[in-house]
Structure 1
């Protein structure tokens, strides 16, 4: 049975993070048979690399993964985007379900997961996201400025995925870069602590979070800006973190 992807001319893209190979393969195959464009990943790192290049519409996450807790992945995604989030896990305790839903998940399934029920949930989530985006677009349309080129100031646009320099040059951000820049923009011209930036990156367990990941993202962003001929006013603040000066 094919479930039609209503209200869209393209297939709904689903990323599945599941480290049990047989289950991952079976769910990806079933979702594709039901009309979705599905891809599977065994680790959070594999997923992040793929998501940075091509975003999905909905991500299905197992909680127990070899390199990162599923709750942390959901927190990271929810802080940086409006992607649909579904948990599919063996953990069925009420406390886990409540934590997952409060942490940003749109739905929570306990294994075994039936593909058609999962597909119906994915479609419902996708429709809600698109309806909310359309509603927000209509509400903002009367006040929408012209393309932010040459405004004389730093501007975040396109859902905070593109940073425009004062001269109009654009820098497209990855998911991690977007999380850092958005946090710095909220407190522009003020130092932002590295732990705050780590939290923006999805470091829910800050005690075990490697703060050098923040430095790595900032360093990569600076190199990318330099390569694009953009002088990025992103400065290290000794003993604190970083500051975006405008």
Structure 2
């Protein structure tokens, strides 16, 4: 099922790490396990990974820091696997850049399925990079390259997005000419509507706006619609 996908397991519990590595290897993954952050950085430097599974409670550094490092420096998919099931931790994990947040104990079959799904998305993204030149210059026309997770401005500048940011733009694109309701965005992005996810959405919108402003002078098209939600104020097409 997982043949060809290269997976890194970051887990300080030796018994758990070895059992997960053994199961995934039998399932067809090319998998390695490391016990701490120091070994993680050494492994990441070798490159070639499709998915990394990270425990939060490592002995030498918080797993959240590792997640942030992966998201800032690589394109690989990130799964957090931890016994910490508090809502604050889950929100913090997604804010750090995790693609999935899974709770221990977990059946290895579920973990294998989750890794396969994320690895397929990663490989599809790498194989189908869409060049910015495909977007015809226009003063109001933006492009969204789903395969490469990039928003392309009218002047041809690519703004790289995280998975959650891409999903946010896709939700806005589904409401051309009008606002996407905040409640809908919260439920579809985070599967719940509370003060924690509300702050996460605000943080996400702020990050996307800053990304756009940092690389292009084109006006930011993500607008706040008071008492409703957000809208994409310019023309957007998929490329």
Shorter-chain TM-score: which interval? 0.5 to 0.7
| Other-structure match for 1:40 | 55
With 178-187 and 204-213 compared, the bigger mean Cα shift is at: 204-213
For residues 106-117 of structure 1, what are the structure 2 equivalents within 5 Å? 108-109=106-107
Asked if the contact 2:173–2:232 (Cα under 8 Å) also holds between the matched residues in 1, the reply is: yes
Following superposition, the deviation at residue 87 of structure 1 comes to: 5.5
Specify which of 206, 227, 230 is matched with residue 219 of structure 1. 206
Deviation at 1:209, TM superposition (A): 3.5
Deviation digits for residues 63-122 of structure 1 (CA, Å, limit 9, x no counterpart): 64244476x899x7xxx99x7886542xxxxxxxxxxxxxxxxxx51xxxxxxxx4x876
Gap runs ≥5 in structure 1: 17-21, 90-107, 110-117
Task: Give me the CA root mean square deviation.
Answer: 4.6
TM-score between both structures, scaled by the size of structure 1 = 0.57
Name the count of aligned residue pairs: 197
- Can you list the C-alpha shifts for 1:31-74, whole angstroms capped at 9, x where unaligned? 6796426543238855753453345457363464244476x899
Q: Equivalent residue for 2:187?
A: 199
| Superposed counterparts of 1:85-96, under 5 Å | 88-89=104-105
Paired residues for 1:139-154 under 5 Å: 147-150=133-136, 152=138, 153-154=141-142
**Is the 2:55–2:81 contact (alpha carbons within 8 Å) kept by the matching residues of 1?**
no
Give the unaligned 5+ runs of structure 2. Answer: 26-30, 35-53
CA drift at 1:191: 0.6
